[in-house]
Amino acid sequence: MNASGKFHIMIDAQPQEHLLSVLGRFGVLSGYGPFWKSAAKISSDTTRLCPAAFNRRVYQDLFNALPERNNDGTIARHTPFNYYKSFYPGEVFNSPHQAAVNGPVFPIGHDTFKYAREWRWCSDCVESDIEITGFPYFRIEHQLPGIILCPHHRKTLRSRCGQCKSEWKTISKILVPPANNECPKCKSTVNTIEEELDDEVMWLHEVSWDLLSGKVRLPSLSKIQERYRSYVDIPLSKERFSIRQQKRLGEVQGAINEYFSETFYQYLLKKPGNFYGGRRALSFRFIGMAFSSDKFFQPVFHLMLIRALFKDIDSFIGAGNEHSRG
């Protein structure tokens, strides 16, 4: 039996499973030896397989191993495609397959967050998945940047070992979520993430999950930026900003910086104590997000901007007929 046939019989993408989790499980069950050997049976794109990767050749290669499932809808369901697609500049996101062969690309500010590259899991989901399928797997809704809660059980996820400080930023280091929550390296228990969760943290979680599932659908980046510029009443132009426009941009940036609490920054950022002149500062600026058509900013930054200026996603969606909520 060839590799594709064996893959088809042994492993299939489970409901809400991250596609790279399939590759990790294949490494455990295939009998080919170390991960790099088993992964090589499927794809040559097997380095730095972190959960936030949204456009990788390996996605296409995985579905080539399952030709009857090789369709846009399946790739979108098992990768972060829906979460990222509205915020990427250009036309690479005409389809999930087109995106898969144009990566990997990571957005500006990706390494700013505490929880973006690490594989995370919910112990309750792992328990139920084992009961239903016979094996554990990584769920796509747990792997979005900044996500530390399970949408099903409303419990904090597990990630990083507090004892040996291991961080699983590539699937090759962990393969599958440990059924007993035991660190693969030092064998100590991996505890749940401990963060204070305020209303803004919960809002970010809910909107992120809605984007992933398709419940919230936003237009292209160019349309999103038009809405930002309309908010400040400054059109796109090659001319320098006037004094009035500079003042307006400064006011808006100040409002964004001050909107979120210190609790929110402590939860989200690796280095939350960045203060300039007593004002909180993030590694993004409204001017770049509204006027730079070729910059790919982390979706979390866009969601924070929408929250600070428009208060909720429905107000932003209602700004144009091309926006929709499913």
Q: Where are the domains of the chain?
A: 3-107, 215-325
Closest by CA position to 20, among listed 63, 68, 73: 63
Parts of the chain with a pLDDT under 70: 1-11, 66-72, 91-104, 273-284, 319-326
Kindly tell me the burial class for residue 300, based on how many C-beta atoms sit within 10 Å of its own C-beta (0-12, 13-18, 19 or more): buried
Q: How far apart are CA 38 and CA 171, in angstroms?
A: 13
* Cβ burial, residue 154 (10 Å; 0-12/13-18/19+): exposed
Q: What would the pLDDT profile of 172-220 be if each residue is shown by its tens digit?
A: 999 999 989 999 889 999 999 998 899 999 999 999 999 999 999 998 8
What is the structure's pLDDT at 92? Answer: 54
pLDDT tens per residue, range 134-144: 889 999 999 99
Of the candidates 294, 311, 286, 303, the one whose C-alpha atom is nearest the C-alpha of residue 232 is 286
* Predicted pLDDT at 97: 61
- Give me Rg for the CA atoms of the chain: 21
User: Helical H runs in 101-198?
Assistant: 123-133
DSSP category for residue 153: T
CA separation for the pair 79, 98 (Å, rounded): 13
Helix or strand or coil: residue 304? helix
- Asked whether the beta carbons of 228 and 286 are under 8 A apart, the reply is yes
| Residues 285-295: b if buried by 16+ CB within 10 A, e if exposed | bbbebbbeeee
Residue 113's beta-bridge partner residues? 269
pLDDT at 249: 94
Residues 6+ apart with CB under 8 A from 79: 18, 19, 54, 59, 96, 100, 140
What is the average pLDDT value for the chain, to the nearest integer? 84
| Tokens read off for 150 | 């399970």
Q: Which helix (H) or strand (E) holds 324?
A: strand 324-325
Name 4's Cβ contacts closer than 8 Å, sequence gap at least 6: 64, 65, 66
DSSP 8-state code for residue 214: T
pLDDT score of 187: 92
Task: Pick the closest to residue 205 from 151, 158, 155 (CA basis).
Answer: 151
Instruction: Check: CB of residue 179 under 8 Å from CB of residue 249.
Output: no
Q: Cα dist. 31→38, 126, 208, 296 in Å? A: 8, 23, 37, 40
Comparing CA positions, the residue from 263, 258, 292, 289 lying closest to residue 275 is: 258
Bridge partners (DSSP) of residue 121 are 158
3-state secondary structure of 182: strand
> What pLDDT is recorded for position 276?
41
275 DSSP β-pair partners: 280
